[in-house]
C-alpha cells in the first residue's frame, strides 16, 4: 500500500534550482491524496512564470510513478507569488505582493517598451499585474498599450486603472491633455507618486511594475521612501555611454536600500530579415553583460533590435502578444521569466518571509 511518506520522500529529490532546497521542505507540495494506487497532488511554485515548471512536473510524475503500487499520478501546477519585503515604509499596499522598479540611467534605451512587455509577459503567464507609469514628464505607456483615449473613472474615491492585455495601468497621460506639458518640482512629483500608489484601486496584484523616468532624481527617491520596493531592474544598451549611466543608477538604488534584481540589455544586435544568421552589433557588443558581471548582479537577458518592436508600440499591442514568435518577443518572454525568478529569490530570503511548510 502506497503511503504519504513514500511519496514525499521521492519528491524530496526535486530541488528548486534557485532556492537550493527540495520542494517538500519549501512547502511546494500541497493537497497530497492517495486512493487505490492513484496519487494526486499540487506543486505550488513562487511564480506562474517559473522557467522550469514543466521539467519539475515531469520529474515529479516520473519519480512517483516508480513507487511500487502506484497506478496513476496526477500533478497539478499552481503558483502563489509570495509577499516580498513587506510594506514597512510610509504607504501600506497589503494587496500588492511585489513592487518592481524598471529604471535606466539615461533616456532612449527602450525602458518603457521593456516595462510594457515584461508586464504583458507576466500577465500571459497568469500573474496579476499592474503597471504604474511614473515617468511623469514623458508618459507614453498608454500609447504602447493602446488606451491613450481612456478616461479614468472614480469608484469609492479611488481611480480605477485601465486594463489592457491583462495589465492594470495608470498614467499621468490619462489625466492631462495630450499636449499639456508636465511642469512639476520635487514636492509635486512626490505627491503624484503617492497618489498613484494609494489613490488607485489596484486590487490584488502579484507584481506592480513601475516604469521610472530616466536618471536618479525625485521620482526614484520618492518611490523608495514611500514603499518597500522588492527590487530594481536596470535597462541599458550595449554602448559605453549607456552602461556608465546605468552604473550610477545602480549605485543610487543601493544607497536607498533597493535590491538590484538585474540588468537587461536592450537593442543588443540587429538581424536583417533576409539574413537570419547574421548579427550586426550597432551599439556595441556585450556591454550590459559585462556591467552585470562587474557589479555582481544577475544579467537578465538581451533583447535584439527589430522594427516589429516599434510597430507594436505604435499600434498599442505589445510585441509579446502581436508577434509572439519573433526573436524580440521570445527574448522578452525569457527575460520576464528571469525577472520573476529573481523576485522569488529575493522574496523567499529568510529575513523577508517565513516559509509555510505544508503537505
- Domain presence at residue 92: no
- The mean pLDDT value for 30-53 works out to 92
CA atoms within 13 Å, Cβ hemisphere of 336: 28
- The mean pLDDT value for 85-98 works out to 70
| CA dihedral sign of residues 279, 285, 288, 294 | positive
Task: Judge if 231 and 293 occupy the same domain.
Answer: yes
Task: Judge if 105 and 74 occupy the same domain.
Answer: no
- Domain presence at residue 355: no
Task: Judge if 275 and 206 occupy the same domain.
Answer: yes
Task: Judge if 50 and 158 occupy the same domain.
Answer: no
From 46, 79, 112, the end of a domain falls on 79
Express each pLDDT in 121-151 by its tens digit.
999 999 999 999 988 888 899 999 999 888 8
From 79, 112, 146, the end of a domain falls on 79
Element (H, E) at 168: strand 167-171
- Domain presence at residue 235: yes
> Is it the case that residue 359 has pLDDT exceeding 50?
no
Task: Judge if 70 and 108 occupy the same domain.
Answer: no
The three three-digit cell numbers of residue 61, written as one number:
510524475
- Domain presence at residue 184: yes
Task: Judge if 122 and 40 occupy the same domain.
Answer: no
State the average pLDDT for the chain.
88
Cα 149 to chain centroid distance, Å, stands at 26
The range of the structural domain enclosing residue 11 comes to 4-79
> Is it the case that residue 352 has pLDDT exceeding 50?
no
CA distance 134 to 192: 9
From 45, 79, 113, the end of a domain falls on 79
Percent of the chain clearing pLDDT 90 (strictly above):
57
Structural domain tally of the chain? Answer: 2
Task: Judge if 75 and 103 occupy the same domain.
Answer: no
Q: Are 344 and 46 in contact (CB under 8 A)?
A: yes
Return the higher-pLDDT residue of 167 and 244.
Answer: 167
> Is it the case that residue 216 has pLDDT exceeding 70?
no
Task: Judge if 25 and 67 occupy the same domain.
Answer: yes
Task: Judge if 115 and 20 occupy the same domain.
Answer: no
- Domain presence at residue 120: yes
Task: Judge if 68 and 111 occupy the same domain.
Answer: no
Task: Judge if 278 and 206 occupy the same domain.
Answer: yes
- Domain presence at residue 359: no
- Look up the CATH number of the domain holding residue 66: 3.30.300.130
pTM: 0.85
Q: Can you give the pLDDT at residue 272?
A: 86
CA distance 263 to 301: 8
Instruction: State the pairing for strand pair 38-45/72-79.
Output: parallel
Backbone conformation region of residue 318, classed left if phi is above 0, alpha if psi is from -120 to 50, else beta:
beta
- Lowest average pLDDT, out of 215-224, 272-281, 325-334, goes to 215-224
Locus of grid cell 497506478: 71
- The mean pLDDT value for 283-287 works out to 90
3-class DSSP state of 268: strand
- Domain presence at residue 127: yes
Q: How many helices (H) and strands (E) does the chain have?
A: 11, 13
Express each pLDDT in 42-73 by its tens digit.
999 988 888 888 999 999 999 999 999 999 99
Express each pLDDT in 112-123 by its tens digit.
999 999 999 999
| CA dihedral sign of residues 308, 310, 314, 318 | positive
Task: Judge if 114 and 214 occupy the same domain.
Answer: yes
- Domain presence at residue 298: yes
Express each pLDDT in 288-323 by its tens digit.
999 999 999 999 999 999 889 999 999 999 999 999
Q: Can you give the pLDDT at residue 318?
A: 96
Express each pLDDT in 182-201 by its tens digit.
666 667 788 888 899 999 99
- Look up the CATH number of the domain holding residue 164: 3.40.50.300
Amino acid at each position: 500500500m502506497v503511503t504519504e511518506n513514500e511519496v514525499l520522500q521521492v519528491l524530496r529529490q526535486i530541488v528548486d534550482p534557485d532556492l537550493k532546497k527540495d520542494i517538500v521542505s519549501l512547502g511546494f507540495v500541497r493537497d497530497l491524496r492517495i486512493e487505490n494506487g492513484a496519487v494526486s497532488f499540487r506543486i505550488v511554485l513562487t511564480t506562474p512564470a517559473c522557467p522550469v515548471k514543466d521539467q519539475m512536473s515531469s520529474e515529479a510524475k516520473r519519480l512517483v510513478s516508480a513507487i511500487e503500487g502506484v497506478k496513476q499520478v496526477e500533478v497539478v501546477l499552481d503558483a502563489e507569488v509570495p509577499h516580498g519585503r513587506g510594506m514597512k515604509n510610509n504607504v501600506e499596499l497589503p494587496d500588492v505582493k511585489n513592487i518592481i522598479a524598471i529604471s535606466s540611467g539615461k533616456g532612449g534605451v527602450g525602458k518603457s517598451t521593456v516595462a510594457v512587455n515584461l508586464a504583458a509577459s507576466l500577465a500571459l503567464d497568469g500573474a496579476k499585474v499592474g503597471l504604474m507609469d511614473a515617468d511623469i514628464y514623458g508618459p507614453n505607456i498608454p500609447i504602447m498599450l493602446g488606451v491613450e483615449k481612456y478616461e479614468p473613472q472614480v469608484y469609492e474615491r479611488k481611480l480605477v486603472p485601465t486594463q489592457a492585455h491583462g495589465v492594470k495601468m495608470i498614467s499621468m497621460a490619462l489625466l492631462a491633455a495630450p499636449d499639456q506639458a508636465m511642469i512639476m518640482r520635487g514636492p509635486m512629483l512626490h505627491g503624484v507618486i503617492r497618489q498613484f500608489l494609494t489613490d488607485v484601486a489596484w486590487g490584488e496584484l502579484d507584481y506592480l511594475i513601475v516604469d521610472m523616468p530616466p536618471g536618479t532624481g525625485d521620482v526614484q527617491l520618492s518611490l523608495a521612501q514611500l514603499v518597500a520596493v522588492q527590487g530594481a531592474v536596470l535597462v541599458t544598451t550595449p554602448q559605453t555611454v549607456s552602461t556608465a549611466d546605468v552604473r550610477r543608477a545602480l549605485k543610487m538604488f543601493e544607497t536607498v536600500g533597493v535590491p538590484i534584481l538585474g540588468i537587461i540589455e536592450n537593442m543588443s544586435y540587429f538581424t536583417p530579415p533576409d539574413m537570419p544568421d547574421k548579427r550586426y552589433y550597432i551599439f556595441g557588443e556585450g556591454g550590459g553583460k559585462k556591467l552585470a558581471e562587474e557589479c555582481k548582479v544577475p544579467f537578465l537577458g538581451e533583447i535584439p533590435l527589430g522594427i516589429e518592436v516599434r510597430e507594436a508600440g505604435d499600434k498599442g499591442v505589445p510585441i509579446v502578444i502581436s508577434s509572439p514568435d519573433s526573436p524580440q518577443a521570445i527574448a522578452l518572454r525569457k527575460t520576464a521569466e528571469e525577472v520573476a525568478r529573481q523576485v522569488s529569490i529575493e522574496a523567499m530570503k529568510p529575513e523577508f518571509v517565513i516559509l509555510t511548510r505544508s503537505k
